[in-house]
Chains A and B, each alone.
Chain A
């Protein structure tokens, strides 16, 4: 699993060994539980790098 704080922003998500629909759903669940942020599967899949994902989460966290 990807831990947001310790991420190398340059990691290309689709290159990760277990990047599939189950991982995407697990990320969505984790983002809800840990950050109260809701991304759709389409939005997560549109992210290219780990940095993109972090930026999207940070943006949605801003009140």
Chain B
């Protein structure tokens, strides 16, 4: 499905990671695998450190902290937020929406549209599409898109398949009306028949959580996880990405009439460095144009990895320069989507930390 938008742009981007950092080398002792093979995995996949929330920290905590950072610095005006979209798969509660909880904690206006979107790896793209759709309404002039997840809390520390690459993070993206000549192309596809590839089996209504769903089980390959935990079929996801993403990008660029070499940056969801390099090789994209360093420094924070890739690698340049960027997200659902847009001349583009309990915030005043 193709989308076409005029007169909208990203005017600011803030990403936030927990101050708490853990490393693969420390965590290796929790896995049932020989040290040598774990070290080889670290090297091949590109694992090193990841940021994890401390006990009890929720998505609304990260989101409110990030929003207050912007509000207190005058980078965002609370009276001008017409829509607040939260993309998350680790909400505070099943009910009410976490976007409503955030709206309440920030004491925002009643005249606004709040929406939770249950999306993961493709969530930033889905959220941007939703923001653009809302901005077509006369009453909506500014949308705040929050992507946030605390999936480390739903991942087994004894699962070497998943735990090393998981990271927690949040991002705030401000999308505004702009010059009508700003064109955004996007596309999106869904395939629910393959939904089991990325899943948390228990905790919803199909398989409610109980004592049994919390029990760690050896899933047959030496990894231990419970039905309450995230489960990812690595090879299924790898094949899905290699098969579906290249034609999706080709279609997007074809519709826009833009050649591959005319794109400045490929800012893709970061499953891990190994998969991104294989994808870049397949598509003939130089590694320099496709940042792939988020997982090794911060972990895979699902939908937040696209904002993380931008903020971590290009923060200073996003203030003064303007780029033609191709964004892509692919994963949970299965969902895959991409977007071609102009990025830059932002009012803010920075990475901050959510302080550990008892610590003082280290972010600049």
Contact = CB atoms under 8 A, between A and B. Distances in A.
Interface of A: 18, 20-22, 24-26, 28-29, 32-33, 38-42, 44
A22 to B, nearest CB: 5
B193 interface: no
B265 interface: no
B242 A32 contact: yes
B11 interface: no
A21 to B, nearest CB: 6
Given A32-B278, A38-B242, A24 B235 contact: yes
Contacts of B242: 32, 38
Q: Is the interface of A mostly helix, strand, loop or mixed?
A: helix
A33 B239 CA distance: 11
Contacts of A33: 278, 281-282
Given A32-B282, A38-B239, A21 B221 contact: yes
B37 interface: yes
Given A24-B235, A33-B282, 18 more contacts: A20-B33, A21-B161, A22-B37, A22-B41, A25-B234, A25-B235, A28-B238, A29-B274, A29-B278, A32-B238, A32-B282, A33-B278, A38-B239, A38-B242, A40-B235, A40-B236, A41-B236, A44-B235
Interface in B214-255: 221, 233-236, 238-239, 242-243
Contacts, number: 45
B161 A22 contact: no
Number of chain B interface residues as a range? 20 to 34
Interface of B: 33, 37, 40-41, 44-45, 161, 221, 233-236, 238-239, 242-243, 274, 278, 281-282
A29 B41 contact: no
Contacts of A39: 235, 239
Nearest to B281: A33
